[in-house]
Chains A and B, each alone.
Chain A
């Protein structure tokens, strides 16, 4: 049954930019991001949705791009770590607090953690420490012991 079309015309918003491209329909969202769009800030840590290194925002919500297929962002808005910026176009408050608090060590989990934290603070700008802890359970970090990550998110609350 090879006569069926195996390509898909994908249209979506990527970091604010209208993006249209023809893709192999069986492509994962993570491959689309890293290989087709060349956005390498989104990482593959496990390929099973367990570590959160591949998180991006789709329609404002954090998702694991390793478990989504590219066709599933059709007609949607996607933001990757490269699209996370402050109001002035510089560093986002979360990026500033992650750096200042010492929440970055090897850094491989950092983009995913910032995406997950951004999704939380957009929805719940006054999130409590307990809420932050529960929201970030899907982001493994093997370096920091999480303490500085949590304080970075707490310090970013209410900042634009």
Chain B
């Protein structure tokens, strides 16, 4: 029978439906048909998944695909190939391309490219302001109509308080989410790593935690004023997590995401001036890292997203302060996040929720769950398989990972998008 697949005997973990049990899953014509004890149609291909975990394909709400404009760093084809290898079936693409995605025509270009060359679903994020210049709002309504799922000036903050107020107000007309790269530019100054004992020792200009928390504090007051929907990108400080927790307790529509490098590493990774440990916001100290783990455990941080930021070798093979910010993360998202489960920070279902249903709901996507009738975006992985991250074996165009050489557990075996196999670790 063409178009059908029977996945048999996996441990099915579907946080959205509160399921964690051995079960079968039936796919037909790219749609999830049944979950549980299924009877496969006669002649249906069978995939024996005994010993593997079957979960919804991951949704990464913070990815830089670099196309259009920076194809030498990454392309929609290459970036989505890396996503497939990482078990990520939907990526939200940040708008800091060239031209900036501040116009429906750019959104259309990205979606057209994704349809013709992409390996996984691409959900464009539009710019909050034209050219990311922080002056004029973009045509958010038309951008949504063209396919944008949220708005962000990521890479830069919306620094002007008045403009941020207008953005939150205006976006609320459409129920759209504003994603903020929270960083006070004046406090950040020329900082190129976290301000701490290590920046002092290395003689590198530091970027204080307060650069983030001051901006989050300001934004939360504007959210209270406007009733907008607000999301903190790549949160990296305990102060900002606390502030988001308070705002959520007040009932504001506020959320935040954390990147694996921020909860797994500290500024010690910068020792030796490794430019692959340079990103914005920077790797922080032990205290901040513990606060992030605490934020995940307490459910204040509800999303794990990579801030996947590919860079060509020439952008990184320079003096530390001159190097571009950013690391790739799609292919290490799952195993590094599973460290949270192994370290007892959160259960497997909660961990997967932060990479599936939680971001899908924030972006209004009909993804991230194994509900019959939904597209069959699926991830099969071996929970315990050990492996060593090797930059040379990554699938994307750029290999600027900060996890090179890390011993991890948890390996993606197969990734399906709408029932189609897009990555096969054995194949």
A, B assembled together: no
Q: Which residues of B line the A interface, CB within 8 A?
A: none
Interface residues of A (CB under 8 A from B): none
